[in-house]
Amino acid sequence: MTGSVPVENWAEFFHCFMWPAARMQLKKMDLNVQFRMETQADILLSPDGQALKAMHEATKQLGLKFETTEWRIVL
């Protein structure tokens, strides 16, 4: 299965697919994630912001890659 699930449907996705699949005693199950964020034109992000720091740390703990293509930094 591939596709994009809007954030407002993530709970339903996990309820309908992930939790049942996790109980199937499968030999292997992979979930690939691509998480992209784009700010509004008037919103600036700081790489030192608490939320981004927490996300970065979580990617390390989960063995994921944290990549950025552009920062608009608050000075």
Q: What is the pLDDT of residue 60?
A: 92
Residue percentage of the chain with pLDDT more than 90: 36
DSSP 8-state code for residue 47:
T
* Least reliable range by pLDDT among 6-10, 51-55, 57-61: 51-55
Cβ neighbours around 18 below 10 Å, total: 13
Mean per-residue pLDDT for 32-58?
Answer: 83
Close Cβ partners of 46 (under 8 Å, ≥ 6 residues apart): 52, 73, 74
Does residue 74 have a pLDDT over 60? no
Confidence of residue 71 (pLDDT cuts 50, 70, 90): low
- Compute CA distances 7 → 16, 22, 42, 70, whole Å: 15, 21, 22, 22
